[in-house]
């Protein structure tokens, strides 16, 4: 994905009251590689302006793939986040047309275009490539065998001097990827060389690496995460791991726990949407208090690593839609209730959180 420098983003039908998370993330952190966005309802407008992304490069919105081809893209990126594994017929048609036009296709869907015979044939005719970001990493499922024939997975301690930070949340879609990317930006601003480990399809599309843990077979989530985080810690003193889901979310708790135990973090950052009262997709399931979520995440970390003092070091909030005074008051209350530094990294910067997660020198 890093090699693509002229990306067309397909978002048709996904630009609703809350625009595509994929589109927002890609335009916020990789706008320099995007040449156009496809959404017929917003054709003729500037994507960055519509999304309210200050300082972002102007990016034209066009009505269809034919118009997008006039901008000479080298890839079509699918900005869709369906809950299931089916693919919309219109989107599949656009993928086939893109492949027939010689464009690579980058997909974060659970649907695997690399297993779609018609898509594979279209790609073969033009030399285009299909990149299914959520492709299960089968090569990481294999482990060495010990002398007694039993498979071995080593949970190795990270390199001395490295420090791993994992984002956890009170809910899904609570800013975990954004928080880690903003912490990375703040660290780079201080002359540090942090590593960012993407664990979801959007983070992978932005960074060009990582692993989509919700596409990993459940038995291997912990070991796959352990491997990618261990590798990052070999190269970086500060490793920032994108989180997924929430331990208190009935649908997504499993992937969160696998990340928590596999990443073996030294500290955690809790992400929280100030306006949310119930967990995503389950309006009848109320959110626990922030203090309770902190408690269960710290306890869960100690289930596997009882001797490690992994703690929540700070709170990253989403205050979108709140006036500045209300946002600041809510942040102050959280700090008083928890004794932890809190901020909205997009409104007020990530420096306070970076100070909290960096180990003392």
User: What is the SS3 string spanning 281-338?
Assistant: CCCCCECCCHHHHHHHHHHHHHHHCCCCCCEEEEEEEECCCCCHHHHHHHHHHHHHHH
User: Rounded to the nearest 5 degrees, what angle is found at the Cα of 204, between the Cα atoms of 202 and 205?
Assistant: 65
* Token representation of residue 328: 């600041």
User: Closest Cα to residue 137, out of 53, 52, 225?
Assistant: 225
CATH number attached to the domain at 7-132 = 3.40.50.720
pLDDT digit string (tens) for the chain, length 361 residues: 678 999 999 999 888 767 788 999 999 999 999 999 999 999 999 999 999 888 778 999 999 999 999 999 999 999 987 766 788 899 999 999 999 999 999 999 999 999 999 999 999 999 999 999 999 988 888 777 777 766 666 778 999 999 999 999 999 999 999 999 999 999 999 999 999 999 999 999 999 999 999 999 999 999 999 999 999 999 999 999 999 999 999 999 999 999 999 999 999 999 999 999 999 888 989 999 999 999 999 999 999 888 888 999 999 999 999 999 999 999 999 999 999 999 999 999 999 999 999 988 7
Residue that is written with structure tokens 């490539």 in the block? 129
Domain ranges of the chain: 7-132, 163-357
What pLDDT shows up at residue 361?
Answer: 74
How would you label 166-192 residue by residue, b for 16+ Cβ within 10 Å and e otherwise? Answer: bbbbbbbbbbbbbbbbbbbbbbeeeee
What pLDDT shows up at residue 141?
Answer: 83
The domain 163-357 is placed in CATH, from the list 3.30.300.350, 3.20.20.140, 1.10.10.10, 3.40.50.300, at 3.40.50.300
* Token representation of residue 78: 């699918």
What pLDDT shows up at residue 150?
Answer: 65
Say if residues 250 and 207 touch (Cβ distance below 8 Å). Answer: no
What pLDDT shows up at residue 152?
Answer: 65
What pLDDT shows up at residue 144?
Answer: 73
Reported as type and span, the H/E element at residue 107 is: strand 104-107
Q: How far apart are CA 319 and CA 114, in angstroms?
A: 39
Reported as type and span, the H/E element at residue 111 is: none
Dihedral, 134, 140, 142, 148 alpha carbons, nearest 10: -130
How far CA 124 is from CA of 102, 118, 129, 183, 209, in Å, comes to 10, 10, 8, 41, 25
What pLDDT shows up at residue 83?
Answer: 67
* Token representation of residue 23: 């589109």
* Residue 245, helix vs strand vs coil: coil
Distance, C-alpha 160 to centroid of its chain = 27
Same fold? 7-132, 163-357: yes
What pLDDT shows up at residue 153?
Answer: 66
């Amino acid at each position: 994905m890093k090699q693509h420098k002229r990306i067309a983003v397909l978002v048709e039908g996904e630009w609703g009251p809350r625009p595509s998370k994929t589109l927002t993330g890609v335009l916020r952190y990789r706008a320099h590689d995007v040449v156009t966005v496809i959404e017929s309802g917003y054709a003729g407008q500037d994507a960055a302006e519509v999304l309210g992304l200050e300082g972002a490069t102007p990016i034209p919105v066009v009505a269809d793939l034919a118009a997008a081809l006039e901008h000479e893209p080298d890839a079509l990126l699918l900005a869709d986040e369906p809950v299931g594994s089916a693919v919309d017929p219109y989107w599949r048609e656009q993928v086939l047309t893109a492949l027939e036009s010689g464009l690579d296709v980058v997909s974060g869907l659970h649907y695997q275009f690399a297993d779609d015979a018609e898509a594979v044939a279209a790609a073969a005719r033009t030399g285009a490539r299909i990149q299914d970001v959520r492709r299960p990493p089968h090569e990481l499922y294999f482990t060495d065998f010990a002398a007694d024939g039993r498979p071995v997975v080593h949970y190795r301690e990270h390199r001395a001097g490295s420090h791993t930070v994992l984002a956890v949340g009170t809910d899904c879609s609570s800013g975990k990827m954004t928080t880690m990317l903003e912490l990375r930006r703040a660290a780079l601003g201080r002359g540090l060389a942090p590593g960012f480990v993407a664990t979801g399809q959007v983070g992978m599309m932005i960074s060009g690496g990582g692993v989509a843990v919700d596409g990993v077979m459940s038995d291997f989530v912990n070991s796959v995460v352990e491997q990618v985080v261990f590798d990052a810690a070999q190269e970086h003193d500060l490793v920032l791991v994108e989180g997924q889901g929430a331990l208190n979310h009935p649908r997504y708790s499993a992937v969160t726990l696998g990340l928590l135990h596999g990443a073996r973090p030294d500290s955690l950052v809790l992400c929280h949407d100030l306006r949310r009262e119930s967990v995503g997709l389950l309006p009848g399931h109320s959110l626990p208090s922030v203090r309770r979520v902190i408690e269960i995440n710290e306890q869960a970390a100690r289930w596997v690593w009882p001797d490690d003092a992994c703690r929540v070091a700070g709170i990253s909030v989403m205050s979108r839609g709140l006036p500045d005074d209300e946002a600041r008051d809510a942040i102050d209350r959280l700090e008083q209730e928890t004794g932890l530094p809190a901020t909205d990294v997009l409104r007020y910067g990530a420096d306070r959180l970076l100070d909290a997660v960096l180990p003392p020198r």
